[in-house]
Amino acid sequence: MKWGVITFPGSLDDGDALYALREVMGQEAIALWHADERLYGVECVVLPGGFSYGDYLRCGALARFSPVMKSVARFARDGGLVLGICNGFQILCEARLLPGALTRNRSLSFICDRVALRVENASTPLTRLFSVGDVIRLPIKHGAGLFVASDEELALVEKRGQVLLRYVNAEGQATDEANPNGSLNNIAAIANETFNVFGLMPHPEHAVEADLGGEDGLKLFYSLVAEDR
């Protein structure tokens, strides 16, 4: 499967995503440049973590106007796989390719930690190698990861099974204490209505090697690869 990882000015985890895909998984993966509209025939576009344009305005608010984002929107409408991680998730929300928005953590502080997450829907391209209820551990590192949506939108997202991962405690319960940033309904990852665009605040690319924080992230990437077959 051919992957493309976009570098926006201020992207930080683009190199880490490429490393995970190429060096750890042995996938074909290319770097895409924000100012270049072409997608070079990739089958999955990754919008990486970071602080695009410094996030001095709203997170992701400027990056969505990058030339490459026009192609990403078209690619998504045509059913292409798009994965937004952290800042990438924020950009996809700003671009209205995903519902809701991400705002400042309720602590108002940046949080870097490892959290437990429960798989809520295992029949999507991103989660198909899991079972519903599986608890996995991934790192988070963000200052604006509080997922919000209007009451109606949230109800729809829940009803349609668009919630993919929820913050939980070690026992797998979505408690308020286990919610690191105050996200509504402990939501950590969602899909669009057609289940080909995904956004997650945790960083799967930082959980692909046993001695660097575990391998739970690998399974998410491999789920997308399985989709390819």
Partner 1 sequence: MSDTIPIALPSDPPVTVELARALGLTENEYRVIEARLGRRPTYTELGVFSVMWSEHCSYKSSKLHLRQLPHSGRAVVRGPGENAGAIEIGDGWLAVFKIESHNHPSYVEPYQGAATGVGGIIRDILAMGARPIATLNSLKFGDFDYPRMTYLVRGVVGGIGGYGNCVGVPTVGGEASFSKEYNKNILVNVFCLGLARKGELMSASAKSVGSAVIYAGSATGRDGIHGASLLASAEFDSAEKSKRPSVQVGDPFMGKILIEACLEAFATGAVEACQDMGAAGLTSSSSELAARGGLGIELDLDKVPLREPALTPYEILLSESQERMLLLVCPGREGEVLSVFRKWDLPACVVGRIVAENRWRAFYRGALVADIPVNALTVDAPVYNRPVKARPVARDYSHSSTLCKSRGELEHGEVLRVLIGSPNVASKRWIYRQFDYLVQSNTLVEPGGDAAVLRIKGTQRALAIAVDSNFRLCARDPYIGAVAAVCEAALNVACVGATPVGITDCLNYGSPERPEVMWEFARSVEGIRDAALALEIPVVSGNVSFYNETDGQPIPPTPTIAVVGVLNERAHRLSSYFKRADDAVALVKGGKLRLAATAYEALLEQKRSGVSFGWVLPPIEPELVKATVDALSEAAALGIVSSAHDVSEGGIGVALVECCFNPNGVLGVEVSLDGLDELGVGEALFAEGTPLVIVSLPEANLERAAKVFTDRGLEFKTLGKVKNEPKLTVKDLIDEDCNALWEVYHRALPRRLGEHV
Binding site for partner 1 (CB under 8 A): 9-10, 12-13, 15-16, 19-20, 23, 49-51, 53-56, 109-113, 139, 141, 143, 203, 205-206, 211-213
Q: Which ranges of the chain does DSSP label H, i.e. alpha helix? A: 14-19, 67-77, 87-94, 151-159, 216-228
Nearest distance from C-beta of residue 58 to partner 1, angstroms: 14
Task: Give me the phi and psi of 140, to 5 degrees please.
Answer: -120, 150
Nearest distance from C-beta of residue 180 to partner 1, angstroms: 10
Among residues 86, 93, 94, 142, the one annotated as catalytic is 86
44 part of the active site: no
Nearest distance from C-beta of residue 213 to partner 1, angstroms: 7
- Of 142 and 166, the one with the shorter C-beta distance to partner 1 is 142
- Of 23 and 28, the one with the shorter C-beta distance to partner 1 is 23
Can you tell me the distance from the alpha carbon of 25 to that of 15, in angstroms, rounded to the nearest whole number?
A: 14
- Of 154 and 188, the one with the shorter C-beta distance to partner 1 is 188
Cα within 13 Å of Cα(89), Cβ side: 27
Q: Decide if 186 contacts 168 (C-beta within 8 A).
A: yes
- Give me the active site residues, please: 86, 203, 205
